[in-house]
Structure formats: C-alpha cells, structure tokens
Structure 1
Amino acid sequence: MSSPTPPIRIVFLDRATLSPQTVLRSLPFAHTLQCFDHTAAADVATRLRHADIAIANKTPISAAALAAAPSLRMIAVAATGTDNVDLRACAARGIVVSNIRDYAVHTVPEHTFALIFALRRSLVAYRDAVRAGRWLDSGQFCFFDFPIRNLAGSTLGIVGAGALGRAVAAMGRALGLRVLFAAHGERASASNDHVPFDDLLAHSDIVSLHCPLTPATHHLIDASAFARMARRPLLINTARGGLVDEAALVEALQSGAISGAGFDVVSTEPLPAAHPFQALLGHPHFILTPHVAWASDEAMQSLADQLIENIAAFHAGTPRNIVTAVP
C-alpha cells in the first residue's frame, strides 16, 4: 500500500502587504500554508528551506535564498512587478514564477484622477486653510488664496500606453481632456494622439506616468525634462519612484517650473527621513500617498483571487501568468 502524498508546503513571506480583510480562498489540494507578516532579507532562506511554493509581494528572493530551498518549485508573486525575484536563478533551477495581471485597471486610474482633482482644485490647501481659521478671518462666504482650475479643455500627457495608461486616457477624454501619449521609437503609433516625448512635455497641462521602471526609463523625468515643461503642468506618478529624479522634482516645484505634483510612489519605500520629499510634505501643491493606488478593497481581493488561481493552475500542471518557467 503506497504512502499518502504529503501536503504541499506553501510559505507566504509578507502577508501584511495585503489587508487583513483580504481573503485568501481555499486551494483545491492538500497543503499547509504558513504566513509571515514580514520577512527580512536575511530570513528568506530559512523560511523557504522546506517550502514547495513561495508567495511574496515585495520581499526579495535572491539566488542565495533559492539555493537554500531545494524543494521550491514555484514562486507566486502577489503583485505585477517581479523585480524582487532573481528570475535568472529561477529559470536555471526550473522554478516557475507567476505574477498578477490586469487587476488594477480601475483602482490606479481612479487614484490618478483623485490626485489630479485634488491638485487642480487645491483641495488639500483649502482644507488646511479652513482648519487654520482662514475662512473665518476672511470675513466673507469664500476666499481665493489658491488656484482652482477646470480639467475640461486641458491637455493630459500620458507616458505608458498599457492597460493603465489607456484607462487613464479614457477617463480623461470623458472629462473633456485632450489626451496625448508619448511615442517611443519603433513602438510609436501613427495616430494623432501619439507625439514625441519632448512635444508631450511642451504641450501638456498634466503629465501622468504609467510606464515600467527599466534602465531606459530610470530618471525619465529629470531636470532637463522639467525645463521642457512649457505649460507648468501637474506631474502625477502612480507607477514607480525611480522614473523621476526626486531632487529635481523638489527644485521644479519650489521654483514654479511645475504647478503641482501628486505621487503615490518613491524610489525608497517607506519614505526615509532623509528623502528629498520631506521638504515638500507641507507644500500646498504636493500630495504624497503611501503606495496605495493599487489597494482598493475590490482590487486587492481580485489580486488575492488571482494569486490562488495561479497556484492552483500550477499544481494542476497548467501554470498561468508565467514570468519565467522551466527552461
């Protein structure tokens, strides 16, 4: 009589990167699931030593950690980005890596426009002024200390024409914005709404970033780019912090080269005490949110459901959303 197959051992290295309200649905096979709220890089190897499947959102999984996990057969990334995983080492080991796709097509564009509306109408500045007693001091029913501008008729320049960029464009058009996309090299479209990057910077009232961070896009927005923003636009970044030279952003906002900035990401997260953005946290035209554009309740549950589906598909022999697989 054959011995029963042991349960699949699954380790979630950073469960706290999903909200406590997010449900991890049951898997259709025998398994154990060990969840850690957070895992330091130095502890990854120990925690994966006996794992068959690892789940990680942002916890780094290095080649050294993989070498110490001989049973590991899959890494289910609980996010779209996989830069926290050594994909080359996974491919060499035959470890399948899967990611989450197209779960944020509502939450990120909505957050993008929340930042745009708040900045174009100076909502935070007026809220803080009311709190400080300025309304009462004004002696009348309203006051006009900060600019208020309509969106209709303005030009929205979008860098990145993937699912999120296109969703932002659709919202923008519905609000009466003219939409431009940055055209890049051989991927450039012949349509009228794709323009050279320099033209986008020169003609946009709002510039919104929705492209991946790669060596080619690192510091895509730098001091030179700010100097080419002829219309003093808002700069919105819900993509990756490294797309923008953050010290140059501080200078651009303080000097008036741009009219405002709304960021959900920074190059080092959480925000360090010595980060250049510390100088802007009280600025009336700067909003920084803590990398939560993706994190609506609905989007997070969709992510978790897709995560479970990825693991179940792998166990069934039909892996999906593969980033790198058995070579």
Structure 2
Amino acid sequence: MPHVLLERPLHPAGRAILDARPGITVETATGDVADFIARAPKADAILLWLTTVDAAFLDRCPNLKVVARYGVGFDTIDIPECTRRGLPVAVVNGANDLGVAEHAMALLLSIARRIPAYDRMVKGGEWRSVDGPPIGELAGRTVLVIGYGRIGTRVARLCAAFGMRVMVHDPAFPTPRIAADGHIPAPDWRAALAEADVVTLHCPLHAGTRHLIDADALARMKTGVWIVNTARGPVIDEAALVAALRTGKVGAAGLDVLTVEPPAKDNPLFGFDNVILTPHSAAAAQETLAKMAVRAAHNILDALDGTIDPGFLVNPEVLRKNA
C-alpha cells in the first residue's frame, strides 16, 4: 500500500483529497527536518516544503516514486540526481503566482507610501500627513522585472496597471513575446539597471542567478533605487545590499526572502527603517495555500497512478525514461 509522507500539516483542502483516496496511507511529520528525514525511508511519496533532497537523502528512501513540492521553487532538490534515478519532481505551477505577485506589489506599495513608518508614527501619537516621511507615486516610474515566468508576468501587468514603465528581462522569453505583451524587452539587464527606479526579482535560484544582484549590479543602479525580492534570498548578495543601503545607493528594499531563513537576530537589515521584511510569506494567503495544497495532492496521486501531467514536473523527461 503506497505511503505518503508530508513534511508538515497540509491545508485541509489538499489533505481532504489525500484522505479520500482509498488504498494509501498518509503520515505527517512534525515539521522538524530531522523527524521528516527519519520517517522518509518508509515513503513512496513525499511532500516537501524546504527540506534538502540530495543523493544521501535519496539513498535512504528505496521506495520513493515521487518527490513533490508545496511550492514552485526546487533549489533545495538535486534535480539531476532525481532524474538519474527516474524520480519525477513535481511542483504546483499556477497555484501561487497570483498570491506572490500581489505580495510583491504590496511590498512595492509599502515602500512607495512608507506604510510601516506611518503606521508606527500614528500609533506613537503623531499625526503628520504632509511633513511626515516622504512618500511617492508608482505612476511614471520605471521598473525592471527580472524573471518573466508565471509570477513575473503578473507583476509586470500589475506594474503597468499602476502606470509604470515596465522593462522585462528573461533569457527564456524572446524579445518579441515581451514586446507583444506591451513591455520593453531588456536583453542586457545590466545596462537596463541604470534606467530602473525599481528592480523586482522573480527568477529561480540556480548557479547563474546566485548573487545576481551583487556589488557590481548595485553600482550600476540609480541612486535611491527600490529593490523588491520575492524570489529567493541568495539571488541578492546580502552584504552588498547592506553596504548599498548604508550609502543611500539603495533607497529602500522590500524583502520576503533572505539568505538565511530564519535570519539571525543580529542581521544588519533589521537596522534600516527603509527595509520592509516579511517571513517568506508571499505564498501564505489562505486562498494560495489551498490552491497549492490541492495541486500538490493531485500531483502525488497522479504520480503514484502513473498519470501525472508533465506540465507539473521539473524533469518531465523521466516519464519517457520510465515508460
């Protein structure tokens, strides 16, 4: 009887789908990584949040038939090793793009309108609507969207709806497609940095994007640029960002992801009033959690049945290999 192991409790919308399926057993780990790893050898299917899956992990799991993620990122999974073993790696494409895009805009609007600062001011007894911290409009500003997948395309459309001039960089998308969507293609993203008032990141983390925003990239940006990151923390060189915040090169940042999560209590980013931080919660809206849970549950069951849609796999080539 196939055994499904969940890294932590799953949203009821997805858990109900698993529980309704006869002929399988479902177990939930405590959320502690060590507990999950200890239970994994019995599993035919696992549902991951951010636990690392490498060759050593897979060696302990001889029965495994699918690795599923409760999300769309897969930087914690050794994809080549899974592919070598014929293991499909499933993600919840299409389930969280709206939620993450809205969160990116929330961070951007909070930067522009200084929402956290005004909230603290009012609660502290101050009421200064004109001579308080300076705020700005989004309309008329130029934004560079780096990464034009499901989330980046939504962010680009939302920015355009706010009247922003939208530049887009993504080597996976031809410039005619970006132009046809009404945006400005930016194949040379480093050159485009000099034009951007805002840089928002929506690219996956891999060797080519780790520290994409480094000291050199920051030096090319306008003084006072705003940076939003809802992708992965290591896409930004955090030390270089801190240095740029100290000099004023970066005017503000909205970050849902950090290099180390959870961060150390002495993380220097905590010391900036112009940095807004959220705890990797861009996909945590209740509606988003439900959609991801449903998709993840179907991915697991479909993989066990041998009927999974390759559109939800990071490595669809394993279907041919296993045929």
Matched with 1:36 is 29
Query: Equivalent residue for 1:323?
Result: 314
Matches within 5 A, 1:135-154: 135=127, 142-154=129-141
Distance in structure 1 (CA, Å) of the matches to 2:236 and 2:133: 26
Equivalent position SS for 1:287: strand
Question: 2:16 pairs with 25, 32, 36, which one?
Answer: 25
Deviations 1:224-254 (A, max 9, x none): 1111112521100000111111111111112
As a proportion of its length, which structure holds more helix? Answer: 2
Alignment of 1:99-178 (within 5 A): 99-135=91-127, 142-178=129-165
Q: Is the 8 A contact 1:44 1:65 kept in 2?
A: no
Structure 2 partner of 1:193:
184
The one-character-per-residue Cα deviations of 1:28-48 (angstroms, maximum 9, x if unpaired) are 33111110121324x555312
1:224 aligns with 2:216: yes
**Structure 2: runs of 5+ lacking an equivalent:** none
Taking the aligned partners of 2:159 and 2:17, their CA distance within structure 1 comes to 39
Distance 1:98 1:280 in 2: 34
2:191, 2:44 → 1: CA distance?
51
**How many residues are aligned here?**
308
Cα distance in structure 2, aligned partners of 1:83 and 1:30: 32
The two structures have a TM-score, normalised by structure 2, of 0.88
Deviation at 1:14, TM superposition (A): 2.9
Match of 1:293, SS?
coil
Instruction: Sort the Cα spacing of 1:213 and 1:44 in 2 relative to 1 into closer, same or farther, 3 A.
Output: same
Q: Does 1:236 align with 2:223?
A: no
Are the equivalent residues in 2 in contact too, given 1:159–1:209 (CA < 8 A)?
yes
Q: Which one of 5, 9, 14 corresponds to residue 3 of structure 2?
A: 9
Distance 2:170 2:69 in 1: 30
2:209 and 2:75 map into 1 onto residues whose CA distance is 15
Provide closer, same or farther for how the CA distance between residues 193 and 205 of structure 1 changes in structure 2, counting only shifts above 3 A. Answer: same
Could you tell me how far apart the structure 2 residues matched to 1:39 and 1:169 are?
Answer: 37
Q: Which has the higher contact order (CA 8 A, sep 6+)?
A: 2
> Residue 84 of structure 1 is aligned with which of 70, 73, 76?
76
1:282 Cα offset (Å): 4.3
Quote the offset at 1:65 in angstroms.
Answer: 2.5
**How has the CA–CA distance of structure 1 residues 31 and 160 changed in structure 2, closer, same or farther, with 3 Å as cutoff?**
same
Tell me, yes or no, if structure 1 residue 50 matches structure 2 residue 42: yes
TM-score for both structures, normalised by structure 1? 0.87
Task: Report the more deviating stretch, 46-55 or 209-218.
Answer: 46-55
Which 4+ runs in 1 deviate beyond 4 A? none
Cα distance, 1:88–1:39 mapped onto 2, change above 3 Å: farther
- Counterpart residue identity of residue 294, structure 2: D
Distance in 2, matches of 1:37 and 1:200, equals 46
CA RMSD of aligned residues (A): 2.1
Q: Which residue of the other structure, out of 159, 168, 173, is the alignment partner of 1:181? A: 168
The equivalent of 1:4 in structure 2 is none
Report if aligned partners of 2:195, 2:221 keep a CA contact under 8 Å in 1: yes
Partner of 2:272: 283
Is residue 69 from structure 1 mapped to residue 51 from structure 2 by the alignment? no
Show the counterpart of 1:301: 290
Give the residue type in structure 1 aligned to 2:224: R
Is contact 1:78-1:100 (8 Å) kept?
yes
Match of 1:264 in 2: 256
- Whole-Å Cα distance in 2 between the matches of residues 91 and 280 of structure 1? 38
Write out per-residue CA displacement over residues 300-326 of structure 1, whole angstroms, 9 at most, x where no aligned residue. 100000011112212322123223336
Task: Compute the displacement of 1:112 (Å).
Answer: 0.8
Q: Which runs of 5+ in 1 are unaligned?
A: 1-6, 136-140
Deviations 1:176-233, CA, capped at 9 Å, x for gaps: 111011264x855154701221332111111101111121111111111111112521
CA contact (8 A) 1:78 1:99 kept: yes
Aligned-partner SS, 1:170: helix
SS in 1 for 2:158: helix
Give the counterpart letter for 1:33 in structure 2.
V
